[in-house]
Structure 1
Amino acid sequence: MRAAVLNTIPGELEIEEVAVASPGPHEVLIRVAAAGLCHSDLHFIEGKYPYMTPAVLGHESAGVVEAVGDQVTYVQPGDHVITCLSVYCGGCENCLTGHPSICTGAAATERTADQPPRLSRNDGEPVHQFLKMSSFAEMMLIHEHGLVKIREDMPLDRAALIGCGVTTGLGAVFNTAKVEPGTTVAVIGCGGIGLNAIQGARIAGANRIIAVDMLDSKLELAKEFGATDGVNAGAGDPVQQVMELTGGGVHHAFEAIGLKVAAEQAFGMLRAGGTATIIGMIPVGQNVELPGVAFLSEKKIQGSNMGSNRFRVDMPRYIEMYMDGRLKLDELVSRRITLDEVNDGFAAMKTGELARSVIVFD
């Protein structure tokens, strides 16, 4: 099969022929229909987060089950599925207490060192599977605990977005922060994840939703997703602007970029008792600095991993929201590209002007 392989870090993806193994126990072979380009992939391409090479990147995808291995009962060939990197073991304490997105036993869902790799070059050299997914390829071989079965009338190019960006943004609002109706919200960064946090706040019933970005075009797009106000962070201190707009700060601030300074700004935008939720991937080695006296006002800061999801429950619910018109997905797709255009897609991502590029496979 054809796949986009990262051979050096930093580097660009190279389109190569990669062999995929037959499904073993609890494994599912998926023919990929669509895969979104996520900023998380770019972090690894640029070396902001370490990973092994060679590796097939990609993790936000949807497709059709091609074959299943022994002991798989949840899906069968022909089923439509969304994949999710929150692969869970189902037996650790976090899984058993309803927190599978921070599963501590997920290594049990991978093949062991004495088994043949799921992905390899035609000469037998192993190719690493990225985040237990590797969706920048025509086929995926993953554990059954890394997918959810969905209704067949859901368009797969939009379903792919639910595999990461949508679930991360909405889940940060619904599951991690538990935004209440009538509250005020600020979202820093209006890319794919930030836009989903904004529409999550709208669906949750927030009264005022302030979008913060450097680009006026992104702020206008944010208003289509539910933002009531826009703050251009390049036109002055965004914290001061939010404070003036709200008369003292917001109940909830979401950082959706992955920058130290943005995380600190999110905390600074809070009213007394407010909560800052950090969604973005702050580079390894960077520390967030906060004024200690602010904690006397009961301000809080917390992380959110993939929207604190329970993806087999959450994703079908998000599909229903889309199908009945409450959730915007069509507007998230900025470009549909081929696998050969994947590097162009990441170059466009760096400009900050796009919501999402989606690889569509024939």
Structure 2
Amino acid sequence: MKIKAAVFRQGSDQPNIEELELSGPRPGEVLVRMVATGVCHTDLKAAGDDSPVPKPAVLGHEGAGVVEEVGAGVTKLAPGDAVVMTFDSCGRCPSCRDAQPSYCHNANHFVSQRGAGEHYLSAGAEPVTGDFFSQSSFATHAIGTERSVVRVRDDAPLEQLGPLGCGIQTGAGAVLNDFKMKPGQSLAVFGSGTLGLAAVMAARIAGAARIVAIDRHAHRLELAEELGADDTILAGNEPVGEQVLDLVAGGVDFTLDTTSVPEVMGQAIRVLAPRGTCGFVTGAWDGTPLPVPVRHLVGGGRAIRGIGEGGSNPDVFIPRLVDFFMDGRLPIDRLSRKYAFDDIAQAFLDSHEGDTVKPILMFG
């Protein structure tokens, strides 16, 4: 079938809207007509020539839409279902068998899961990389797998739900699934973009006693306060650790770094209370190392955790997030700004500059 897609090519981080050919779903796969998709910073990074994604490619991994067709063997979904698309997992490895698919042993989010040399997108005779995070949702239609497509309630607005598949799931899941935050505990979030603000909202749901949000953009901190942060710190060129400790005497129970900046990550460790936990939810392409203050960790029983996709089991957690949104406890619409699909370049620019927390591309 013919579709429209935003195609990224080598040598340019700006996409072109092109007509592509998309093959139908194979066994275990699902064809989704996109209603909307979020733009994530991972998309911005993947667009660059230094990313591991083979070009030309269609990116996008926060899609929401309606199932149009299912491949043989698919039983969980049917045409007409409202769905959110998320990451794929094998379903067979120890992590998947333990209901921890975000730590799938066989995950590879950046290349086709169909096998080497197999593509379901093409521009004439030229193959185009699809299957980015098992969706490549910067297109009018996308192919996912039964495990990467989650049915959601019919009364929820699909145009708002795409970010639940990655950014919101990651930030909220870090707090609710991984930290398992309890009432009365404290959280400091380093970086108040989508992931950080999702963590703020989740901490409020969990009954946090103190939430501190940190960012370089004043307008994001204002939003953090409206969403539940008790204190905010406008970051400059100096470390903010002392300011956090002035606000939360004795240190913070949980810290979440969303920046991947080693100096900031070090501050997130430094402000932990004894037995506190620091979570890292993203990383630099170049694998920048982090000096770890081992004595600080050992002396207070402090811990560092890598958290992938919020430690989420999407079939369980995404519907739970939808319920939180629908009852007003997770107002994710406060983070978003809508753009026509053809305005994807502007959405990328606004995201990169920090002007828009969560751009959402609209189809149709």
Structure 1 residue runs of 5 or longer lacking an equivalent are none
Stretch moving more, 306-315 or 236-245 = 236-245
Over 4 Å off, 4+ runs: 106-109
**CA drift at 1:235:** 7.4
Match in the other structure for 2:185: 183
Tell me the C-alpha RMSD between the 2 structures: 1.8
Match in the other structure for 1:321: 324
**CA drift at 1:81:** 0.5
- AA aligned to 1:59 is H
Match in the other structure for 1:89: 90
Aligned-partner Cα distance in 1 for 2:129–2:95:
30
SS at match of 2:343: helix
Is 1:18 paired with 2:20?
yes
**CA drift at 1:124:** 4.7
Stretch moving more, 172-181 or 45-54 = 45-54
Match in the other structure for 2:174: 172
8 Å CA contact retained: 2:212, 2:233: yes
Is 1:111 paired with 2:142?
no
- AA aligned to 1:331 is R
Match in the other structure for 2:307: 304
CA deviation profile, 1:151-176 (whole Å, cap 9, x unmatched)? 11110111112111111110010111
Structure 2 residue runs of 5 or longer lacking an equivalent are none
- AA aligned to 1:297 is G
SS at match of 2:142: strand
CA deviation profile, 1:314-353 (whole Å, cap 9, x unmatched)? 01111111111111122121x2112221111111112223
Is 1:263 paired with 2:270?
no
SS at match of 1:234: coil
- AA aligned to 2:327 is D
- AA aligned to 1:92 is C
Choose the corresponding residue for 1:125, options 124, 127, 150.
Answer: 127
8 Å CA contact retained: 2:187, 2:255: yes
Match in the other structure for 2:205: 203
8 Å CA contact retained: 1:110, 1:143: no
Aligned-partner Cα distance in 2 for 1:109–1:101:
18
**CA drift at 1:229:** 0.2
Aligned-partner Cα distance in 2 for 1:284–1:311:
28
**CA drift at 1:244:** 0.9
**After the TM superposition, which residues 18-97 of structure 1 pair with which residues of structure 2 at under 5 Å, given as runs?**
18-47=20-49, 49-85=51-87, 87-97=88-98
Size of the aligned set, in residue pairs, is 359
**After the TM superposition, which residues 268-347 of structure 1 pair with which residues of structure 2 at under 5 Å, given as runs?**
268-295=270-297, 296-333=299-336, 335-347=337-349
Aligned-partner Cα distance in 2 for 1:221–1:113:
44
Aligned-partner Cα distance in 2 for 1:300–1:10:
40
Relative to 1, partners in 2 of residues 1:176 and 1:47: Cα closer, same or farther, differing over 3 Å? farther
Aligned-partner Cα distance in 2 for 1:233–1:276:
19
Relative to 1, partners in 2 of residues 1:49 and 1:117: Cα closer, same or farther, differing over 3 Å? closer
Identity %: 37
Relative to 1, partners in 2 of residues 1:43 and 1:113: Cα closer, same or farther, differing over 3 Å? closer
**After the TM superposition, which residues 144-159 of structure 1 pair with which residues of structure 2 at under 5 Å, given as runs?**
144-159=146-161
Match in the other structure for 1:224: 226
**CA drift at 1:234:** 1.4
8 Å CA contact retained: 1:48, 1:284: no
